[in-house]
Amino acid sequence: MPEKTLQTALALPAPFITARAPRSALRASILLVTHNGLAYTKMCLTTLLADWREGDELIVVDNASTDSTVDFLRTLGQRHPSIVLVFNETNRGFAAANNQALALATGDALILLNNDTLPLPGWSEALLELLQDARNGLVGPVTNRTCNEAQIDAPYRAVAELDDFCRARALQWGSQTSEISMLAMFCVAMRRDVFQKVGPLDEQFEVGMFEDDDYARRVRAAGYRIVCAEGAFVHHFGQASFGELCADGHYDRVLEGNRARFERKWKVAWQPHARRITPEYEALRERIQAAGATLAAGARILVVSKGDEALLRFPAQRGDHFPQAEDGRYANGYPADGAAAVAHLEKLRSAGAAYLLIPQPAFWWLDHYTALREHLESKAILALHDETTCRVYHLRGARD
């Protein structure tokens, strides 16, 4: 998050509730888990409560935050006693904390919502409308950042543009859906009868990751569909809590441990999820591959790939994911901060990486990770720059 946005968010007071009559007959319990990330939590709850449906329920479970999140939530609870607050003395992890909230929830519909989201007006009504169809077990929105086909092109650059984008998306797509194999649990809705049939999240997936893959399989095994609401858009900053694990390598250990647990449970090899491929994105892939082809033959190119294997295919060069796990597979997340991004980059440079390629949709990295941008500007050489395609930095020619 840019520093100016961070400071603005941190200055937000505990919000008031602006309630309106619900359009859907379903009463919703909205469940939020927090672990640090105060700025994200403030933005999320301010946005959420500015368009609150009368009769809905909000439950927040804090996983032993060490910043000022607990103080903020207590102030919020004093202002709005109807909000259910749970404060864990230890970080119980994503699945366990959500299970705590699910056990307390009284709504007809249950919505798991990450604290690093911006749920603008109309988001929940769109999901609840689709839950009226008994065939639908899980419903989620499209977004700017996730692990599969629910991610769409989102060209907005500011909150004002985001609001316009959401309204235009809702008008264009209405209640259309696309069936999907899984929904990441940054925002997912289900009816109470589905939860009662499928059960709670599997807490063997420690801290977080893969509990959503697991739950999706269980929902489909119970005979339900999983659908993406094409007209509902929720902004997702991504990895607000899990990103902290990247700094010391703990993220890799959690990722690999949970992947192994998933594969043992389901007796399958986990594969990265597919992406939504538009003609525009396919053209971008081709331009990136052409750009990589101009670099030295045999060179190792790190690509901010978001897990897209096609972005690693160069004719005479070796493409690798950035960031990546110890085995070279996509890390399925983001660095905690700029320092962590630089440390990861330098580790891979020392192991032979020659270039860092940042595709145009990932240019936000250079705004978000200030330390990474400054490191590249001072230590690397900008080898290629096309505002419509990518930026390529020469690492092996770094200025020490």
Q: Is-contact 152 144, C-beta < 8 A? A: yes
Note the Cα 208 to chain centre separation in Å.
12
CB within 8 A of 329, min separation 6: which ones?
Answer: 272, 321
Would you call 307 exposed, middle or buried from its count of C-beta atoms within 10 A (0-12, 13-18, 19+)?
middle
The pLDDT assigned to 181 comes to 95
Q: Which CATH number fits domain 3-266: 3.40.50.1000, 3.40.50.10190, 3.90.550.10, 3.40.50.2300?
A: 3.90.550.10
Q: What is the domain partition of the chain in residue ranges?
A: 3-266, 279-394
The pLDDT assigned to 174 comes to 95
Q: Is-contact 319 292, C-beta < 8 A? A: yes
The pLDDT assigned to 241 comes to 57
CA separation for the pair 168, 173 (Å, rounded)? 9
Count, in order, helices (H) and strands (E) of the chain: 13, 17
- Chunk the chain into consecutive blocks of 10 residues (it has 400) and report each block's average pLDDT, rounded to whole numbers: 82 92 90 96 97 96 97 97 98 96 98 97 96 98 92 85 95 96 97 98 90 98 98 88 56 83 95 84 95 96 93 97 91 83 96 96 89 96 96 78
Reference 120, options 160, 156, 89, 91; nearest CA is: 160
CA separation for the pair 216, 126 (Å, rounded)? 20
Q: Is the peptide bond before 13 cis (omega within 30 degrees of 0)?
A: no
pTM of the complete model beyond 0.75: yes
